[in-house]
Chains A and B, each alone.
Chain A
Amino acid sequence: MKAGKLMIATFALLGLSLSAASAATTLEAIKAKGHVQCGVTTGLAGFSAPDDKGAYQGIDADVCYAVAAAVFGDRSKTKFTPLTAKERFTALASGEIDILSRNTTHTLTRDSSLGINFTYYNYIDGQGFMVKKDLGVKSVKELSGAKICIQAGTTTELNLADYFRTNSMKFQPVVYDTSIQTREGFDKGACDVLTSDKSQLAALRTELKDPKGSIILPETISKEPLGPVVRQGDDQWFNIVKWVLYGVINADELGVSSKNVVAMKNSKNPNIRRLIGVEGEMGRKLGLSNDWLFNVIKQVGNYDEIYQRNIAPLGLIRKGSVNALWTKGGVLYAPPVR
């Protein structure tokens, strides 16, 4: 008895908090603690990085704000845990975070072996190439023998080797540790080509001394569908995060934005009426209130607003890209809210 008490006291001293809600569902636990705990990058432009006021901004951070708006009707009930790439899945598995929204690529291995579920995609990326304009290169196929700046230890490196081997071309890798160093190397002429995910390339290009002197080649050599991830074993929470994403994409498709969502309450379109909860019991079915998506759209915006706010400033135009809606030549396709 005494030993037990001593142990409890020791644990309390160590700062162990035995949360009472460990047996409850994720949604109940989140409602009990009053916020959504969200794992993000320690800083990646456009995806998640703290602004001057210390608030996280970016397309990944907006997923968290949107889920908080759906659950609590208040986007500010969000807390962020900055995570490195290596510890992200442990943090999710151990319950430290509720959602992992940290530009994570959906792959078979991750899906099948980590005890996690990928919800849907908030940004579809792919590896591309940036070259100096004066080289006159128009396609990756012309790059045989080129010196290529690359970040070490990433899948980028493997993709590059695969692609060049498939096309029986040669390349000289110039390996750096961080993306900032690859940019410096490219800028100083240590290599002719810089390869990375296209979102990164666009961001790095704006930071070059002469952004106009470089172009991003049209080819994309890998598929990097990025999206929020949840733990396996709680389908309700999985559905909520998934449908918040579907919801903002549907809102984009139906033309419901943060500016017109209040006026849309009078819309005659039954799809819109169901979407913002004027009709039907859509929110209830997920365990939320019926105005869940109304709150999300009002406070965070539809997908296009989120994209334009975070990704467009990196120099990535949505129109005509893979991240456009399926109706506009892209691949973003959300099932209907009904």
Chain B
Amino acid sequence: MSALIKHTPLPDRPPPSSQTGIVHWAKQHLFSSTTNSLLTLASFYVLFLLVPPLVNWALLSATLEGTDRSACEANGGGACWTFIKIRFNQIMFGLYYGSHPEQIWRPVLAFFMLIGLVAPLFIERFSYKGLLAGFILLIFPFIAFALIHGAWLGLPVAETNEWGGFMLTFILSIVGIIAALPLGILLALGRRSELPVVRSFCVFFIELWRGTPLITVLFMASVLLPLFFPSGVDLDKVLRALIGITLFQSAYTAEAIRGGLQAIPKGQFEAADALGLAYWEKMTFIILPQALKISIPGIVNTFIELFKDTTLVSIIGLLDLLNMSQTAAQSAEWRGYDTEAYIFAAFIFWIFCYGMSRYSQNLETKLDRGHKN
């Protein structure tokens, strides 16, 4: 009798072959209906038209050897990455560092210092976050400037005129991002303040900057501002752009944060009031931690936008990553290789923007407290 009853379950049988494997996946996703099948075929055809020539141009028949254009001309047909190789330092660090490669450690050091300083902010158990954030905001910019410019430390001077390439793009956007965040928080709080003067000032400020395109702001900073100063007074052009970008960005950050503040249920405010917390305690401990978390996608979105918007500084003659690449393709040595320059610049932008958006997704998951719908 007992021989008939099996006490251990049978092992799972594999699903029928029509339900697994690449064939099934393709059937489900690519050929589930006539329309889908047609679309799939059309897409494959487009890919077939685009990808092989692109791969051929960018990789298979591309040139990387040599030190001048003769290598590319001899090869013909493919992309001329020799150009990017020779001009790499220039496109990444601008004219001064491009011609003084032995000094490149300075911006690189500043970059890694920044990463080293920012990293502990994301360690949950690190308890001096406020102090560190203050250091990054108030002291680090001077250290970074001293390193990159050089005059204060007695290093060879790299004038802001000769800053450029990815370094300038990074400086413009990171200063815009870091400086705009506290400003934006203050503006967002001010806009919801009950004090009429503070509120109207914040509304006026935010609407003024939001109502002006960045290109106008930069243009004002570069073309009109110098005319208002007495002759002989010269406000650095990079600094002018930085101030313009920061003020502009702070208005957008403020609005992203205001969205977060509005999403906090009234009960939270009332509970904080009931506990007898003063305004700043209420904001720092109860409201802002929740509001900022909700605003992360919005804030990161404005940051990514700013990172790309910095290319607008080319209209005021600053040689940022895009403009530097274009300029490099105008030199006597590399005239005509604009496509390579643009593709390289696009690639760098993509790496950083994609990195930022991945990071924000990561941050959202980490900070998720179950409020997600």
Closest Cβ of chain A: how far from B84's Cβ, in Å?
Answer: 12
Closest Cβ of chain A: how far from B222's Cβ, in Å?
Answer: 5
- CB contact under 8 A between A96 and B87, given known A45-B335, A49-B331, A51-B331: no
- CB contact under 8 A between A18 and B90, given known A42-B327, A49-B331, A57-B331: no
User: Which B residues touch A19, using CB under 8 A?
Assistant: 232-234
Asked if A79 lies at the interface with its beta carbon under 8 angstroms from chain B, I say yes
In the bound assembly, the distance between CA atoms of A325 and B277 in angstroms comes to: 85
Q: Decide if A45 touches B332 in the complex (CB within 8 Å).
A: yes
In the bound assembly, the distance between CA atoms of A296 and B323 in angstroms comes to: 32
Closest Cβ of chain B: how far from A178's Cβ, in Å?
Answer: 9
Interface magnitude class on chain A:
35 or more
Q: Decide if B317 touches A82 in the complex (CB within 8 Å).
A: yes
In the bound assembly, the distance between CA atoms of A93 and B227 in angstroms comes to: 8
Asked if A52 lies at the interface with its beta carbon under 8 angstroms from chain B, I say yes
User: Which A residues touch B316, using CB under 8 A?
Assistant: 84, 87
Q: Decide if A83 touches B317 in the complex (CB within 8 Å).
A: yes
Asked if B239 lies at the interface with its beta carbon under 8 angstroms from chain A, I say yes
Asked if B98 lies at the interface with its beta carbon under 8 angstroms from chain A, I say yes
Q: Decide if A54 touches B233 in the complex (CB within 8 Å).
A: no
Q: Decide if B327 touches A54 in the complex (CB within 8 Å).
A: no
In the bound assembly, the distance between CA atoms of A90 and B227 in angstroms comes to: 7
Asked if A55 lies at the interface with its beta carbon under 8 angstroms from chain B, I say yes
Q: Decide if B336 touches A22 in the complex (CB within 8 Å).
A: no
User: Which B residues touch A23, using CB under 8 A?
Assistant: 232
Residues facing A in B95-146 (CB within 8 A) are 95-96, 98-99
- CB contact under 8 A between A51 and B317, given known A14-B235, A15-B239: no
Asked if B42 lies at the interface with its beta carbon under 8 angstroms from chain A, I say no
Q: Decide if B335 touches A206 in the complex (CB within 8 Å).
A: yes
Q: Decide if B330 touches A95 in the complex (CB within 8 Å).
A: no
User: Which B residues touch A54, using CB under 8 A?
Assistant: 90, 95-96, 98-99, 162
Asked if B187 lies at the interface with its beta carbon under 8 angstroms from chain A, I say no
Q: Decide if B99 touches A95 in the complex (CB within 8 Å).
A: no
Closest Cβ of chain B: how far from A121's Cβ, in Å?
Answer: 22
Q: Which of A51, A80, A203 contacts B333 (CB 8 A)?
A: A51
Q: Which residues in B have some Cβ–Cβ distance to A below 8 Å?
A: 86-87, 90, 95-96, 98-99, 159, 161-162, 219, 222-224, 226-227, 229-237, 239, 314-319, 323, 326-333, 335-336, 338
Q: Which residues in A have some Cβ–Cβ distance to B below 8 Å?
A: 14-19, 21-23, 42-46, 49-55, 57-58, 79-84, 86-87, 90-91, 93-96, 180, 203, 206-207, 310, 313
Instruction: Using A49-B327, A54-B98 as known contacts, list a sample of 17 further A-B pairs with CB atoms less than 8 Å apart, ordered by residue number in A.
Output: A17-B234, A18-B232, A19-B233, A22-B231, A42-B317, A42-B326, A50-B327, A50-B331, A52-B331, A53-B99, A57-B332, A79-B161, A84-B316, A87-B316, A90-B227, A91-B226, A207-B336
